Amino acid sequence: MYSLKFTTESSSNGVVEREFTLGDDVPGVLWSPASGADRAPLVLMGHGGGNHKKHPAMSGRAGRLVAGCGYHVAVLDAPGHGDRPRTAHDEAEIAELFRARAAGEPEGPIVVRYNDHLAQLAVPEYRALLDALQELPEIGSDGPVGYWGINMGTAIGIPFVAAEPRVTAAVFGQHWPDVLAEKAKQITIPVEFDLQWDDEHISREEGLALFDAFASKEKSLHVNSGLHKELPRFEADSAVRFFARHLGAAVTARA
Amino acid sequence: MYSLKFTTESSSNGVVEREFTLGDDVPGVLWSPASGADRAPLVLMGHGGGNHKKHPAMSGRAGRLVAGCGYHVAVLDAPGHGDRPRTAHDEAEIAELFRARAAGEPEGPIVVRYNDHLAQLAVPEYRALLDALQELPEIGSDGPVGYWGINMGTAIGIPFVAAEPRVTAAVFGQHWPDVLAEKAKQITIPVEFDLQWDDEHISREEGLALFDAFASKEKSLHVNSGLHKELPRFEADSAVRFFARHLGAAVTARA
C-alpha cells in the first residue's frame, strides 16, 4: 500500500494544482476544480517519452478536463522521467535510441522494448495511485475513472487499463502493436484512438493493427494527415468530449 | 442558367425552411437562420441513396448547422429520388440492387455504377444550385462554401467538389474507391471522412483507399466500430465543428 503525500498546492484560473509523492519516491500531480470538486470523475493521464508530468501537453489537457468538465486529473512521472532518477538501463536505452536516430535507423524496436520495460514498472504505480486517490473524500471509490495517454502514455496505459477494471473509458494512440496488441485484446471499454497518417516512425498498418486489436464494442479511430509530432490540437478537444460522453458530468454540474 | 423559384416557406425554432425548384424540375430545400442570415456561410448537402432532400438525416444536420453556426444549408433531391421521377434505367438498377441483396451478392458493384450515373447528372445541378444561391442577397458570391454528403452524397459530392473551386471544406464518407479515388486525387481542400470499421458492404481496405486518395494537406479520418448503417450520431456534431473551424463564424456571430 503506497501512501500519497501532498507537497505543494497552488491555484490558477479555477484549477487547483497539488504536487504529491506516491509511496517513497514517485512524484505526481493532481489537478482539481477550485469549487464543486466533490465526487467528480477522475482521469489518469500518462505522459509521452522524454517528457514529464507537468509538460504542457499534460497541463493543457488537464486544464481542459478540469475547467471544461469539472473533473480531477492526475499524472505520475514515469520511471526514469521528470524528477525521477535514471538507472544505468535507462541511460543505455536512451543512448541506443539517440544512436539509432542519428544513424537513420528505425526507432520502433528500441521504443517498443524500452517502453515495455517502463510499463512493467509503471502499471503497479498507477494502480496504487488510483487506490490512493480514491481514498480522498473529494474523489471517493465509486466514481467514474478514465485514462488518457498517447505515445509512451499508451505503452503504459494499455497494460494498465487491461489490468484495471475501475477504468471505464480510455484515449490512446500512436504506438506499435508488437507488445501492446495482446493486451489491447483484453480491453472492452470504449476507446478513442489517434494515429497520424504520415507518421515517419509507426506505419499505417502498425497503427491500424493496434486499433483493430481492442475488443471494445465501441471504439473510434481518429486519423489525421501529418507526421508523428503533428497530432492536431483539436484531437485534445475531441478526447475531452469523449470523456464527457462516457464519464458523465461532475455531480455539481448535474445539480 | 437555371433559375431558382421558392415554392413554400415555413419557420420553426429559429430555422426558416424554404422549398424551391431549380430550373424546370429539380426540387430542393434551403434552411436559413431566422435572423442574422446576411452573408452567412453556405453548406451544400447531398442525401444518401434511397433517401431524399428532407430525410431526417438532412433536416437534422441542417438544424445543427443553422442553429449552431448560423449557416445556410441547401440540398437537392438526387435524380430518381424524392419528388423526382424514376427513369426506366433507375427502375432497372434499383431492381438489380434488390435482387443482389436478396441473393446475398455484393451490392458494391451495382451501387458504384448506379451512383456514378446519378453523379454525372447531379454535378451540373449542384453547380447551378450554387450559382443560383450566390445570387441571393443573404448569401452572396464571396462567402465560404462547404459540402457534406455520406454514402451516395459522397458519390455525388466528390466529383462536384473536384470540379468546383468555390467549395473550401468538405465532409465525405462510406463509399468505394473504384470510381471516386481518381476524382479525390484532384481535391486539395480540408476533408473529414467517415468510415465504419465493420461495414458489411465496404471493406476496410476500400474505405481507407478512398481516404488516402484525397490530395488534401489537411484531412481527417473518423473510423467507428459498427455496421454500415451504424455511423454514430456524434459524427454529425464532429462535422459541424469541422465546418465551424474551416468556414468560420457567420458575420453576425462575429459582430
Is B219 near chain A, with CB under 8 Å?
Answer: yes
pLDDT at A227: 97
- Of B204, B212, B220, nearest to A224 by CB-CB distance is B220
pLDDT over 60 (residue B253): no
pLDDT at B97: 97
pLDDT over 60 (residue A252): no
Is A188 near chain B, with CB under 8 Å?
Answer: no
Residue of B221, B230, B235 to mutate when probing chain A, most A C-beta within 10 A: B221
Average pLDDT over all residues of chain B = 95
Residue of B195, B198, B219, B223 to mutate when probing chain A, most A C-beta within 10 A: B223
The verdict on a CB contact (< 8 Å) between B225 and A245 is no
Between the alpha carbon of residue A138 and those of residues A8, A39, A45, A129, B133, the distances in Å are: 18, 5, 18, 15, 56
The verdict on a CB contact (< 8 Å) between B217 and A223 is no
**Assigned architecture for domain B4-254:** 3-Layer(aba) Sandwich (3.40)
By mean pLDDT, which of B153-162, B196-205, B209-218, B244-253 is the weakest? B244-253
Min Cα separation A186/chain B (Å): 16
CB pairs under 8 A between A and B: 47
C-alpha cell at B23: 430550373
pLDDT in tens, A118-152: 999 999 999 999 999 999 999 999 999 999 999 99
pLDDT over 70 (residue A31): yes
**Percentage of chain B exceeding pLDDT 90:** 94
User: Average pLDDT of B235-242?
Assistant: 97
- Burial readout A116-133 (b: 16 or more C-beta within 10 A, e: otherwise): ebbbeebbebbebbbebb
User: Average pLDDT of B204-231?
Assistant: 98
pLDDT at B1: 61
For chain A, the three-class secondary structure string (H helix, E strand, C coil) is CCCEEEEEEEEECCEEEEEEEECCCEEEEEEEECCCCCCCCEEEEECCCCCCCCCHHHHHHHHHHHHHHCCEEEEECCCCCCCCCCCHHHHHHHHHHHHHHHHCCCCHHHHHHHHHHHHHHHHHHHHHHHHHHCCCCCCCCCCCEEEEECCHHHHHHHHHHHHCCCEEEEEEECCCHHHHHHHHCCCCCCEEEEEECCCCCCCHHHHHHHHHHCCCCCEEEEEECCCHHHCCCHHHHHHHHHHHHHHCCCHHHHC
User: Average pLDDT of B130-150?
Assistant: 96
What's the pLDDT band for A1 if we cut at 50, 70, 90?
Answer: low
What's the pLDDT band for B38 if we cut at 50, 70, 90?
Answer: confident
What's the pLDDT band for A204 if we cut at 50, 70, 90?
Answer: very high
Amino acid A165 reads: P
pLDDT at A39: 87
Is A222 near chain B, with CB under 8 Å?
Answer: yes
By mean pLDDT, which of A63-77, B1-15, B92-106, B196-210 is the weakest? B1-15
pLDDT in tens, B157-167: 999 999 999 99
Domain boundaries, chain A: 4-254
- Of A225, A241, A245, nearest to B216 by CB-CB distance is A225
Q: pLDDT: is A238 or A252 the higher one?
A: A238
What's the pLDDT band for A254 if we cut at 50, 70, 90?
Answer: very low
**Percentage of chain A exceeding pLDDT 70:** 98
pLDDT at A253: 41
- Of B216, B218, B220, nearest to A223 by CB-CB distance is B220
pLDDT at A64: 95
Interface predicted TM-score (ipTM): 0.91
pLDDT in tens, A42-80: 999 999 999 999 999 999 999 999 999 999 999 999 999
For chain B, the three-class secondary structure string (H helix, E strand, C coil) is CCCEEEEEEEEECCEEEEEEEECCCEEEEEEEECCCCCCCCEEEEECCCCCCCCCHHHHHHHHHHHHHHCCEEEEECCCCCCCCCCCHHHHHHHHHHHHHHHCCCCCHHHHHHHHHHHHHHHHHHHHHHHHHHHCCCCCCCCCCEEEEECCHHHHHHHHHHHHCCCEEEEEEECCCHHHHHHHHCCCCCCEEEEEECCCCCCCHHHHHHHHHHCCCCCEEEEEECCCHHHCCCHHHHHHHHHHHHHHCCCHHHHC
What's the pLDDT band for B95 if we cut at 50, 70, 90?
Answer: very high
